[in-house]
Structure 1
Amino acid sequence: MNITYDVIPDDKIEICSDLCNELMKFQKSKALIKPELFDSMKFETWMVPSIKNAIHNYTVIAKDGDKQVGYVYSNISRKETYSNDFATFFDLSSVRGSYVGCLSNFYIKDEYRQYGIGSRLFNMSIDWLQQFEYVEDYFIFVSNGNTNALEFYKRKGFSVSHDILDGFITVLRKHKKDFH
């Protein structure tokens, strides 16, 4: 195994479309609440609009040779971006500044889990998010049924804040002051 990590510029984001679509299928397979909501979630309807609405984007693809094995997508967005037709993801008044940092998409192919790739992608993403001094609140949204992801983020210091859409998504949060 020879894992490399490539940062993908926004204008080349279609490179990770297959991984994003795999993530949505994976989430649907795990979902216990409203799995049908994933039917309309795919690269073109989920990730592309997120990239267009964000102020800053950061996407990293993990590869084993030429094979894409995982990715992470994070962004800095105005907090109002997270109150839309789909849902209100958090109480906007609880966010200290005008912007939030979100680890938005994160996926590793099953056969590549447990090799530290997830921790590496997570750390790269968090390091990137923390460089924006004006951002004080960080969020991660975990789909229902994905208990492995939920536990992973808790081990990384994020706390469950609340659920939205009747438990369809669990919102995790961490404040800048809580990072070491």
Structure 2
Amino acid sequence: MMPIRYELVPDDQISLVKDLCNELMIYQKSLATFRPELFDGMSFETRMVPSVKNAKANHIIAAMDSDEIVGYVYSNVSPKEVYSSAFATFFDMDSVKGNDVGCLSQFYIKEGYRSMGIGSVLYDESKKWLDSFDGIHDQFIYVSNGNDAALNFYKSKGFKVSHQILDGFITVLRNT
């Protein structure tokens, strides 16, 4: 295995992470103890593409082993209203200080590459980018049910559990 390198993925090349994004949805469904069928309608086309389009700014970092993408993190800055839809309202709009929020939206590392420090590098790069926006005070991370490793990882990085949505299908973490 070569040293892992990290590359910024431009918005117009998000299809580079399509396979991993779809793998993430399958992985989340495999861990879900509650309403796993909700993942059946989730894919790169239904989750990432609309999110990238709705965001004011996007940040995708790929972890590369030679020419293979073995992990990625996707963060964005979006108008807070994006997080209120027919699917769910993700947080109390009045609790957000500004008009926009930061979100660490997707994070996935292929099996066999976990517990090697790649997640911490991807997280740190994402957090540095989110923190670079002066007007963004509120940052959120959404963890699907059953993904205790992710929940504990984000807690270890200082995020706090805020609340649950969709009757516990998703746990919302917040930076404050």
Which TM-score bucket, shorter chain as reference? Answer: over 0.9
* Mapped pair 1:134 → 2:143: no
Map 1:22-41 to 2 at 5 A: 22-41=23-42
**Percent identity of equivalent pairs:** 62
Indicate the RMSD between aligned Cα atoms, in angstroms: 0.6
Q: Which residue of 2 aligns with 1:122?
A: 123
Q: Report the number of matched residues.
A: 175
CA distance in 1, matches of 2:44, 2:86: 18
Secondary structure in structure 2 of the residue aligned to 1:149: helix
Superimposed CA distance per residue, residues 30-82 of structure 1 (whole angstroms, 9 cap, x where no aligned partner): 00111000001000011000000000000011011111110000000011110
Runs (4+) of structure 1 moved beyond 3 Å?
A: none
Q: Which runs of 5+ in 1 are unaligned?
A: 176-180
Q: Which residue of 2 aligns with 1:164?
A: 165
Secondary structure in structure 1 of the residue aligned to 2:87: coil
CA drift of 1:24 comes to 0.2
Q: Which runs of 5+ in 2 are unaligned?
A: none
Superimposed CA distance per residue, residues 13-35 of structure 1 (whole angstroms, 9 cap, x where no aligned partner): 10100000000000000001110
Map 1:66-81 to 2 at 5 A: 66-81=67-82
TM (normalized to structure 2)? 0.98
TM (normalized to structure 1)? 0.96
CA drift of 1:86 comes to 1.1
CA drift of 1:127 comes to 0.2
